[in-house]
Amino acid sequence: MVPSTAVYVAAVPISVIVALGLLRKWRSRKWATCASNTCLRGKTFLITGANCGIGYETAKTIVRRKGRVIFACRDIVKAKEAIANIRKEQPNGGEMIPMQLDLASFESIENFVEVVKKGFNKIDVLINNAGVVVPLNQDLKTKEGFEIHFGVNHLGHFYLTNLLLDHLKRATPSRIVVLSSTLHERGKIDFDDLNLRKQIEEAKKRGGSPRHNPGYCNSKLMNAYFAKGLACNLRNTGIDVNMVCPGFCATNLFRHSIKWYHYILMAPILIAFMKTAKQGSETVVFCATDHSIEGKTGKFYRDCEEYTSKHEFDKEVEAKLWSVSEELVKARKPL
Ligand SMILES: NC(=O)c1ccc[n+]([C@@H]2O[C@H](COP(=O)([O-])OP(=O)(O)OC[C@H]3O[C@@H](n4cnc5c(N)ncnc54)[C@H](OP(=O)(O)O)[C@@H]3O)[C@@H](O)[C@H]2O)c1
């Protein structure tokens, strides 16, 4: 006979796992999948940060549907590895091209665009997916000296997109998909301190960032302002610009903030609430390919549906962020 304590010892973790599984199943009923499955042959998709996470899963789906994907990645070796993995699974999928792009360097962005322009006559869909989250106390900066979230997540994509507009115009109807996050609702744009000097100094004294990293949240708000401003500027040109929140997904995004033991402590939350990268990519693929939203622009999507942001967007802030970003790109240093 099995001793009763052994039964209890086994029953508790099993019940917890079953409960978490049921909770996940209940939550996932709202996690939409992109129903669109049309052939994408002849279309060129450019995805920043396609070597892992949501960008990788987005690329994989597009390749399965025969689209051509430019993997615009910081590390060309990782881009080639990602491509080799997809090719193994999908020997007959679309073409994949690895290219080096470091969004933390204006020179790298310019070199990248030059190579794209030489190699391709149009881009059908640009997916601004790459992103970083780094604790503020690490005080990381881009090559030009911008705070890392502001520099990579916002300014790098701002510059890249503007340099590629002619190529997107040649492919109309074309699309730009901007990966933001509902965390933009926690963001604030302080034009007197875009590089967060005050908050970085406080974080250094405290030895860490606040729970919701203000650098990241602000940059996701800037992504949303940029997408809205761009959608407005490009109205009636045949280029649609939309924003996506993929949801809370298990990816490498928090690699700088999360230690190994956090995974153990947070395992129940991760199991019950986190999407996989593939589940997170569904709305990105929807915004990049679904015919039902052709002509819709300046919208925020979550779970393949329009999402109404709780943030009160202000046209003056939108215009100011645009002009300040242009000025900073021109100056190539924080002013
Ligand atoms: N995961 C979530 O819960 C979540 C929620 C809301 C929004 N998002 C957004 O979804 C997007 C994708 O994130 P993810 O979760 O898939 O994260 P991830 O797995 O960490 O992927 C991020 C990608 O961005 C690339 N990247 C970082 N810095 C770069 C730079 N300077 N130049 C070029 N590429 C760079 C990374 O390249 P390396 O591999 O070389 O570092 C990686 O390929 C991000 O914009 C993020 O803000 C994610």
Tokens of 67: 């689209």
Q: How far apart are CA 223 and CA 182, in angstroms?
A: 11
pLDDT of residue 2: 58
- Cα 323-324-328 angle, rounded to 5 deg: 120
pLDDT of residue 231: 98
Q: CA nearest 285: which of 47, 25, 41, 121?
A: 47
Task: Give tens-digit pLDDT for 193-250.
Answer: 999 999 999 999 988 777 789 999 999 999 999 999 999 999 999 999 999 999 999 9
pLDDT of residue 224: 98
pLDDT of residue 118: 97
Task: Give tens-digit pLDDT for 98-141.
Answer: 999 999 999 999 999 999 999 999 999 999 999 999 999 999 99
Q: How far apart are CA 188 and CA 64, in angstroms?
A: 39
- Whether the CB-CB separation of 51 and 97 falls below 8 Å is answered with no
pLDDT of residue 30: 80
Task: Give tens-digit pLDDT for 270-324.
Answer: 778 899 999 999 999 999 999 999 999 999 999 999 999 999 999 999 999 999 9
pLDDT of residue 6: 79
251, 266, 275: which to mutate for ligand 1, most atoms within 8 A of CB? 251
> Would you please indicate which residues are annotated as catalytic (active-site) residues?
216
CATH number at 40-330:
3.40.50.720
- Residue 1: pLDDT above 60? no
Distance 33 CA to ligand 1 centre (A): 21
Q: What is the mean pLDDT of the chain?
A: 94
- Residue 61: pLDDT above 80? yes
The mean pLDDT value for 137-148 works out to 97
pLDDT of residue 141: 98
pLDDT of residue 7: 77
Distance 132 CA to ligand 1 centre (A): 6
Q: How far apart are CA 135 and CA 138, in angstroms?
A: 6
Q: How far apart are CA 153 and CA 222, in angstroms?
A: 9
- Other beta carbons less than 10 A from residue 302's beta carbon: 20
Percent of the chain with pLDDT strictly greater than 70: 99
The mean pLDDT value for 175-190 works out to 98
- Residue 27: pLDDT above 90? no
- Residue 269: pLDDT above 80? no
Q: Which residues line ligand 1 (CB under 6 A)?
A: 48-49, 51-55, 73-75, 78, 101-104, 129-132, 152, 179, 181, 245-246, 248-249, 251-253, 277
Q: Give the residue, by CA position, lying nearest to ligand 1 atom 26.
A: 130
- Residue 191: pLDDT above 70? yes
Q: Where are the domains of the chain?
A: 40-330
The mean pLDDT value for 183-197 works out to 97
